[in-house]
Amino acid sequence: MIYCLTGKILEKTADSAVIDCGGVGYFVSVPSTTAGALPGTGGTCTVYTHMNITENDVSLFGFATREEKNMFELLTAVSGVGPKAGLAILSALSVQRIVFAVSGGDHKALTAANGVGPKLAQRIVLELKDKLGKTVGSSVTLSDVGGARPAPAGAMQQAAEALTALGYTGSEAAAALAGLDETLPVQELIRLALQGIGKRR
């Protein structure tokens, strides 16, 4: 199994790269986030890879971080999510955003990815909710955004800023936090707000 590739970029598009490693050019399909993070042609890079083997094809998928690779493997383990859909989701949403969407039951956020409809998005949330805390969630958690300490006086504002950083509008964040106990830790405020957003959608 090829864990990662380090070499010079020979070609690069919005969804692929050819990386020269020791004189061998490897074609790697990548999400647009990874393509954007890679240097231009001639630059040196490292991508973490997943090899997909089928009866008629052997394909390599590359990612800028181990977290992206882990998330891709989790997504493609869900029934109905193939490599193409996995790349589309990671192109549309960051790993952290996917974690929060799944944790909060916000399946609609996943439909931002090309080719992912409501039913498939709901299946992803259902199947990944328990798994994320044991794998990707161990490195990207609610505490990364809000912290687990008791909330200071500005906890509501910190929670609102965290929600907007995740892509929600100011009005969506305010509506989600309305009525919540201001004395709760920031982490709990974010979790409850995301659950509320998921239910409304």
2 — pLDDT class (breaks 50, 70, 90): confident
Residue 19 sits in the same domain as residue 74: no
Tens of pLDDT along 132-187? 755 444 444 444 444 333 334 377 777 887 777 777 777 777 788 888 888 888 88
Residue 116 sits in the same domain as residue 170: no
Pair 52, 62: CB distance under 8 Å: no
State what percent of residues in the chain have pLDDT above 90: 49
The CATH number covering residue 41 comes to 2.40.50.140
DSSP labels for 85-128?
A: HHHHHHHHS-HHHHHHHHHTT-HHHHTTSTT--HHHHHHHHHHH
Residue 87 sits in the same domain as residue 56: no
Q: What separation in angstroms does the CA of 85 have from each of 35, 72, 75, 113?
A: 16, 9, 8, 8
41 — pLDDT class (breaks 50, 70, 90): very high
Residue 134 sits in the same domain as residue 77: yes
Residue 116 sits in the same domain as residue 161: no
> How, if at all, do strands 4-12 and 58-63 pair?
unpaired
Contacts of 163 (CB under 8 A, 6+ apart): 172, 173, 176, 177, 190, 193, 194
Tens of pLDDT along 124-145? 999 988 777 554 444 444 444 4
Q: Which of 86, 117, 138 is the last residue of a domain?
A: 138
Residue 130 sits in the same domain as residue 149: no
Q: Which of 41, 63, 85 is the last residue of a domain?
A: 63
Q: 132 is in which domain, residue-wise? A: 67-138
| pTM score, whole prediction | 0.68
Residue 28 sits in the same domain as residue 41: yes
Compute the mean pLDDT over every residue in the chain, rounded to the nearest whole number.
84
Segment (H or E) for 62: strand 58-63
Tens of pLDDT along 58-85? 999 999 999 899 999 999 999 999 999 9
pLDDT at 201: 56
Residue 110 sits in the same domain as residue 90: yes
The CATH number covering residue 97 comes to 1.10.150.20
Residue 126 sits in the same domain as residue 75: yes
- Name the domain count of the chain: 3
Residue 157 sits in the same domain as residue 172: yes
Residue 12 sits in the same domain as residue 58: yes
Residue 59 sits in the same domain as residue 73: no
How many residues are given for the chain? 201
Q: Which of 138, 170, 185 is the last residue of a domain?
A: 138
